[in-house]
Amino acid sequence: MQHLNPYRFYELASKLHSLFLNTTQNRVTEMFTPLTEAQNVLDGWIKGDSFALETSKNDAVRLLGKISALFSKYYIDASSKQLKTPSGEDRVDAHEMALLYSLVEKFEHALAAELSHAPTYMASKRGIYSTYDLIENAYQCFSPSMREALPEASLTEFNLAGRALAFGLGTAAAVHLLRAIELVLKRYFEMFSGTSVAKTERSYSIYLKKLAMLSDDENNERRPDKRLLQMLAQIKEHYRTPLINPDSVITVEQATSLFALATAAITLMGEQIILGLHHKEEPQQAPPSKAKAACAPSEEKKPTKESKSEEAGEDGEESYDFRPSKAS
């Protein structure tokens, strides 16, 4: 899919009609710029830079050939094939200008007939999301550091969801969003479980069940966020499970809400994935070995009155010293 710039249509018409707006009676010195600009713009259209011409392409090629022939006749030396400087009194032949004008008219009629059924549409804005950003830059909902931690396939699915939403395809957008969530959920699960997921266990429901078990394990310092798991369960219940039924349809409004919800869920999972990656990169300090502890010299301390009282307290019997100090 190619982004269409409507200004190119105006530019083409402007450069072609500037050939006939010369008020100096087609003086050759004044026709150099109009011929050059019209030739460059029309050549780009024939190559498909602005719009892929089909039925009107032959007329465009004939028109370009005539413009190139005029340029070569008046500005290119026949012997040296170099640019020549025309005199100030030379003028373009009126018959050739009339022929050029007829070729421009033929191309305009052919282009008008082709554009009448060309596949050009206008998509309206969806919620607060602009049409252009949904089609081209949906992945920018996530920060650059977040995109590095997310699977590339999930970002591709998220971009497809943005395009489907821009063109009013609610069900298609929901499917792509759910696929993007599940791809991130797989990496999220692998980070907490410490093992890669087998093909037989690649299931949204299995991920949630095992993550719920890990979140209840109090022996683990880092556990999945229960609030995030509740959000993922709600997405499964309200969007993923109903789509199993072929009669289920997701409206554009529902898909727009899911787009925001998926952005939040993927962002929360991505934040914990980034924390998990940083935790793995941090060097862990190893405890001192027994050999070093044995070699370390031990200092013998003489038992003091305070230490004796502390030892008595450790044996389970409380000891109190009510004797006055020497200062008193």
Q: What's the token pair of residue 256?
A: 């727009």
Count structural domains, the chain. 2
User: Which run of H or E residues covers position 298?
Assistant: none
pLDDT in tens, 59-104: 999 999 999 999 998 888 878 888 888 776 788 888 999 999 999 9
**The two three-digit tokens of residue 189, written as one number:** 């699960």
Q: What residues have CB less than 8 Å from 140, skipping those under 6 apart?
A: 133
Is the dihedral angle over the CA atoms 265, 267, 271, 276 positive or is it negative? positive
Kind plus residue range of the DSSP H or E element containing 222: none
CA angle 94, 58, 63 (to 5 degrees): 20
| Positions of the chain with pLDDT under 70 | 1, 22-25, 88, 279-328
Q: Supply the DSSP symbol for 241.
A: T
pLDDT of residue 277: 73
**Residue 280: its pLDDT value, please?**
62
| 82 and 179 share one domain | no
Report residue 44 CA to chain centroid gap.
29
> How many Cα atoms are found within 13 Å in the side-chain-facing hemisphere of 74?
25
Are residues 91 and 169 both part of a single domain? no
Ordered alpha helix ranges (H), 125-283: 131-136, 144-149, 152-166, 170-193, 204-216, 226-235, 252-281
Distances in Å between the Cα of 236 and the Cα atoms of 93, 183, 205, 268, 327 are 75, 14, 8, 16, 75
Q: Does residue 220 share a domain with residue 80?
A: no
CA 275 to chain centre: 23
Do 224 and 251 share a domain, yes or no?
A: yes
CATH label of the domain that carries residue 92: 1.20.58
pLDDT score of 22: 67
Identify whether residues 41 and 70 lie together within a single domain: yes
Are 222 and 276 contacting, i.e. CB atoms less than 8 angstroms apart? yes
Q: What pLDDT score was predicted for residue 74?
A: 87
pLDDT of residue 80: 83
Task: Quote the domain boundaries for residue 104.
Answer: 7-115
State whether 97 and 184 are in the same domain. no
Domain assignment present for 29 = yes
* Same domain, yes or no: 97 and 179: no
- Each residue's pLDDT tens digit, 240-276: 999 988 888 999 999 999 999 999 999 999 999 998 7
Residue 246 inside a domain? The answer is yes
Residues 28 and 55 in one domain: yes
Question: CB pairs under 8 A, 24+ apart, for 208-217?
Answer: 208/232, 208/233, 208/236
Q: Are 214 and 192 in contact (CB under 8 A)?
A: yes
Residue 315: per-residue pLDDT: 43
What is the pLDDT, as a whole number, of residue 87?
A: 73
What was the pLDDT predicted at 192?
Answer: 87
pLDDT of residue 291: 44
Q: Which two tokens stand for residue 52?
A: 């892929």
**Per the domain annotation, does 321 fall within a domain?**
no
CA dist list (Å): 290 to 148, 283, 284, 286: 42, 21, 18, 12
183/216 same-domain check: yes
Residue 314 lies in a domain: no
Q: Could you give the CA distance from residue 177 to residue 240 in angstroms, rounded to a whole number?
A: 10
In a domain, 156, yes or no: yes
